[in-house]
Amino acid sequence: MRKVVFISFIISLFLFPEQIRAQVADSSFVLKEQDYLELVLANHPLAKKAENLVEYGEFSVLAAKGGFDPYLFSKNKQKYYENKNYYLLSNSGVSLPTRLGISVQAGYDWNEGEYINPENNLPETGLWYAGISVPVLQGLLFDENREALQKAFVDRKYYENEAQLLLNNVLLEASNYYWTWVQKQYQKSIIEEAYAFAETNFKNYKTAYEQGDKPAIDTLEAYIQLQNFSVQRQQLSNELESARLTLFTYLWEESISPLEEQSLRAPSFENISINHLDSLRTNLPLFVEDHPELRKYDLKINKLQVENRMKREKLKPKLDLSYNILQTPSTSFSEIRGLDNYNWGLSFSFPLFLRSERGALKMNNIKLENTNYEYQQKRLSIKNKARQYEFAFKNITDQLNTYESVVTQYKRLLKAELRKFEIGESSIFLINYRQQSLVSAEMKLIELKAKYNMYYRQWLHSLGAKPELWMAQ
């Protein structure tokens, strides 16, 4: 009778492990990957860094636009010696650079003194002036300010792209740690069940040996099995704790302080939606063309093209024309004389050999050509890497399906062995062997399930998928 009860307990322990797991886990909180990744994106310091990168790009554009800000100026120069005012020269005004290359300016001149140069003689009330300055050749179509602004627009996209790359790397690393934690928790559960089985087995054999029903060798065999599972349980306890602590390094509160540790439970494993998998395969060319790593080269090429345009502009002669109308201060429109009074200026310069300018342009062309080569190589590399992870994911999916069948068959073998033992046609050696084989298969199955999810995330990462795709199942 004792033997029948013993065997019935062993069978129930192995055939209904889910009920035991549910009873143990009721007091803990289930942490789903989607909730976990949302917390990472919301509060992790590196996610905050990504937000700052986007803002940095916006401020770089703001700084470049400063090249077109109007500015006030005032120049004053006086010489006073031995109670004599030799001269006092004063020039104040406002200048407005424009995106057309033309500068508009207006101001007021007022000079006085006993020894002032004739060219600086002005009416007692001074002179108002207003006019423009035009770079007729070099600088008319493109100049340093417009170059800086266009490069800032490229930089803004660059920092947005860097933010996405940073988020993708954070998501991949966080996801890998998450599934490592899930794997260790499930494997720990399997070993706990196996240990409980071996412990009960040993106690029953020990009692049977003391009552003279079983030989001592059976008790020793049961004890060795118990010790083996005890070692595995201790090892997995350490690995699970390490995985749990690593998981919490990615969990932060809004105040940028680490989230308080709490009891967490892994969710059940679920298969990825076929629609999502088909979408990844079908849209591979689109993912490649829009990949953040590839966009880095696009933006680098755009920036070099802007620099090229500026260097070509430097090949032109400098010919700057300025023109200002002059007017004495007046409160009556009838006294305004229109264009009768003015000053103008013309300046010209041109290096005869243009060696510096031509050399800089040639070097920039080589940079541009080399970047195009790098772009083509990176494009092929991204495409092949994505296909590698697609193949790896398909391969792990096939292995997973196979091992699910293997575990089912090992359960049948153990169940059959227990039935044979019940009628006296088996031994503790065979039962331990069947149990060890089943535990190894279950551990491998959990490892494959974790890899299944990891490989899917690595596939997403290789495609440069945006964060919203990481949340979809």
What pLDDT does 336 receive? 59
pLDDT tens track for 443-455: 999 999 999 999 9
Mean pLDDT of the chain: 87
CA dist., res. 36 & res. 348, Å (int):
66
Q: Are residues 326 and 382 in the same domain?
A: no
Find the range with the poorest average confidence among 36-45, 205-214, 215-224, 316-325.
Answer: 205-214
What pLDDT does 459 receive? 94
Q: Are residues 107 and 153 in the same domain?
A: no
Look up the pTM and report it.
0.82
Identify the band that residue 425 occupies on the pLDDT scale cut at 50, 70 and 90: confident
What pLDDT does 11 receive? 44
Whole domain around residue 104: which residue ranges?
A: 74-141+320-353
Q: Are residues 85 and 31 in the same domain?
A: no
Task: Measure the CA angle with vertex 219, ends 214 and 224; round to 5°.
Answer: 155
Inside any domain, residue 181: yes
Residue 197, class by beta-carbon neighbours within 10 Å (0-12 exposed, 13-18 middle, 19+ buried)? buried
Tokens read off for 153: 């627009």
Percent of the chain with pLDDT over 70: 90
Inside any domain, residue 315: no
Q: Where are the beta strands (DSSP E) in 32-142?
A: 71-81, 84-97, 103-112, 127-135
Inside any domain, residue 313: no
| Nearest of 77, 80, 112, 79 to residue 92 by alpha carbon | 77
Inside any domain, residue 69: no
What pLDDT does 275 receive? 87
Q: Are residues 264 and 340 in the same domain?
A: no
Inside any domain, residue 312: no
Q: Are residues 457 and 396 in the same domain?
A: yes
Number of domains observed in the structure of the chain: 2
Q: Are residues 372 and 413 in the same domain?
A: yes
Inside any domain, residue 459: yes
Q: Is 138 helix (H, G, I), strand (E, B) or coil?
A: coil
Inside any domain, residue 358: no
What pLDDT does 430 receive? 87
Residue 69, pLDDT above cutoff 80: yes
Identify the band that residue 4 occupies on the pLDDT scale cut at 50, 70 and 90: very low
Report, as an integer, the average pLDDT of 16-31.
Answer: 51
Q: Are residues 152 and 248 in the same domain?
A: yes
Residue 149, pLDDT above cutoff 90: yes
Find the range with the poorest average confidence among 96-100, 305-309, 389-393, 417-421.
Answer: 417-421
Q: Are 76 and 111 in contact (CB under 8 A)?
A: no
Q: Are residues 211 and 115 in the same domain?
A: no
Find the range with the poorest average confidence among 7-21, 92-106, 295-309.
Answer: 7-21
Residue 17, pLDDT above cutoff 80: no
Distance between terminal CA atoms of the chain? 51
Residue 25, pLDDT above cutoff 70: no
Q: Using the 8-state DSSP alphabet, how is residue 114 labeled? A: T
Q: Are residues 205 and 255 in the same domain?
A: yes
Report, as an integer, the average pLDDT of 74-102.
Answer: 92
pLDDT tens track for 317-367: 999 999 999 888 875 555 556 677 889 999 999 999 999 999 999 999 999
Residue 377, pLDDT above cutoff 60: yes
Q: Which amino acid is at 180?
A: T
Q: Are residues 53 and 6 in the same domain?
A: yes
Q: What's the maximum distance between 2 C-alpha atoms anywhere in the chain?
A: 134
Q: Are residues 288 and 213 in the same domain?
A: yes
Tokens read off for 179: 């599934």
Q: Per mean pLDDT, which of 144-158, 205-219, 267-281 is the most reliable?
A: 144-158
| Cα dihedral sign, 6-11-16-20 | positive
Q: Are residues 231 and 296 in the same domain?
A: yes
pLDDT tens track for 104-120: 999 999 999 888 888 88
